[in-house]
A and B are shown apart, each in its own frame.
Chain A
């Protein structure tokens, strides 16, 4: 079992005010309070830095740190996991109007995986585009619980999953240290790398859980 926060932003994102080390310190605060968070995925806005290496920090604090991205598309924000140089070559991460459907295909082609973020969010979530008649045949998983969304927006994401059969992940969407881990995804698999994260997503063996529900979880 692995509990990962699949959506977080460090100071590399323009609107976040948390360093990666502050996130890792806070996860240890959460652990002292009895909660379980095994790791985080940093999903910086509109960018991916191949050079930055968090392995030393990860080891120091005993937290898995993976890297992804949250990209702006013409169909809302999309979380991208297991980003490869090939994907970064084919997709302009800074293009806020990129075709989201093409991004999903490109990520899959390069061994990555795309999960539409906060699909119930007003004005920008996938639900809005589906209501306009857009189809997303390549989507199978969405972010069902987003820690930064309004309750009614998460309800819309929940309804979307019930209606379509989409599977759902959970992520804090943290922009502050103390918000990390407030929503996580519980995976049946043990995950330590981005490749394993993609495999675990494709297995369908996961569910979103609020931090409170991790309190009784066995330590992994």
Chain B
């Protein structure tokens, strides 16, 4: 049930699954990701260490799925605001993602609501995305809150 707000946006997006992908999880993407955030545990950086720990290949850090969601979500055509920032992010890893996996994403609009804060009126746009691998296994549930302000 969407929250009532004063600003117009595309309500037809509710109840619709937006499919995106495929996203190939390459060793190079994992390597760049881990290097840029200093994630140096061997299961994330060394395929042999990952295999020795029981994984099929070098493992993607648990929040990496959020990378693929970015830029893939539809425009809700909100008639408010000029600036956007990232208000919150939730990731619930369900199964390991390893190099060589091919992921797909299914996203839906969860809520749009208004609040006020230091920077004035803000509209929060919340999306939920389910990531699956090539076998159809759910690997992560992701929630993203984008904030639009005056």
Direct contact of A and B (CB under 8 A): yes
Convert A86-125 into 0s and 1s, putting 1 for each residue whose CB lies closer than 8 angstroms to a CB of B: 0000000010110000000000000000000000011110
Q: Which of B46-77 contact A (CB under 8 A)?
A: none
Q: Which of B4, B115, B119, B121 makes the CB contact (< 8 A) with A14?
A: B115
In the bound complex, do residue B124 and residue A96 qualify as a contact, i.e. CB atoms below 8 Å apart? Answer: no
Residues of chain A lying within 8 A (CB to CB) of residue B38: none
* B146 close to A (CB within 8 Å): no
Judge if B3 is at the interface, Cβ distance under 8 Å: yes
Report whether B113 and A123 are in contact in the complex, using a CB–CB cutoff of 8 Å: no
Check A94/B3 contact, CB under 8 A, given A14-B113, A14-B124, A15-B88.
Answer: yes
Chain B positions 96 through 121: 1 when the CB is less than 8 Å from some CB of chain A, otherwise 0: 00000000000000000111111111
A77 partner residues in chain B, CB cutoff 8 A? 116
Q: Are B4 and A94 in contact (CB under 8 A)?
A: yes
Distance (Å) between the CB of B127 and the closest chain A CB? 14
Query: Residue A156 at the B interface, CB < 8 A?
Result: no
Q: Is the interface of A mostly helix, strand, loop or mixed?
A: loop
Given the interface pairs A14-B124, A15-B88, A94-B3, the reply to whether A123 lies near B117 with Cβ below 8 Å is yes
* Chain B neighbourhood of A31, CB < 8 A: none
Contact with B along A1-34 (1 / 0, CB 8 A): 0000000000000110000000000000000000
- Chain A: minimal CB distance from B96 (Å): 25
Chain A 69-87 interface 0/1 with B at a Cβ cutoff of 8 Å (1 = within)? 0001000110000000000
Q: Are B114 and A96 in contact (CB under 8 A)?
A: yes
Of A14, A15, A46, A122, the contact of B118 (CB 8 Å cutoff): A122
CB < 8 Å neighbour of A72 from B3, B88, B115, B118:
B115
Chain A nearest CB from B4 CB (Å) reads 7
8 A Cβ contacts from A38-53 to B: 45-46
Residues in B with CB closer than 8 Å to A15 are: 88
Secondary structure class of chain B's binding surface, majority of residues: strand
Q: Is there contact, CB below 8 Å, between A45 and B115?
A: yes
Taking CB atoms, residues of chain B closer than 8 Å to A121 are: 118
In contact, B117 and A124 (Cβ under 8 angstroms):
yes
Q: A73: nearest residue on chain B (CB-CB)? A: B116
Distance between Cα atoms of A205 and B88 in the complex (Å): 40
Question: When the two chains form the complex, which single residue of A45, A46, A94, A123 contacts B120, counting CB atoms closer than 8 Å?
Answer: A123
Tell me, rounded to whole Å, the shortest Cβ–Cβ distance linking B7 to chain A.
Answer: 11
A158→B73 CA distance, assembly (Å):
45
Query: Judging by beta carbons under 8 Å apart, are A96 and B121 in contact?
Result: yes
B114 and chain A: residue at smallest CB distance: A96
What residue of chain A has the Cβ atom nearest to residue B124's Cβ?
A: A14
Give me the 3 closest cross-chain CB pairs, A-B, nearest first.
A123-B118, A72-B116, A96-B116
Give me 22 A-to-B residue pairs in the complex whose CB atoms sit less than 8 angstroms apart, sorted by A's number. A14-B113, A14-B115, A15-B88, A45-B115, A46-B115, A72-B115, A72-B116, A76-B116, A94-B3, A96-B114, A96-B115, A96-B121, A97-B6, A97-B121, A121-B118, A123-B117, A123-B118, A123-B119, A123-B120, A124-B116, A124-B117, A124-B118
- Chain B residues with CB under 8 Å of chain A are 3-4, 6, 88, 113-121, 124
Known pairs A45-B115, A46-B115, A96-B121. 10 more at Cβ < 8 A? A72-B115, A72-B116, A77-B116, A94-B3, A96-B114, A97-B6, A121-B118, A122-B118, A123-B117, A124-B120
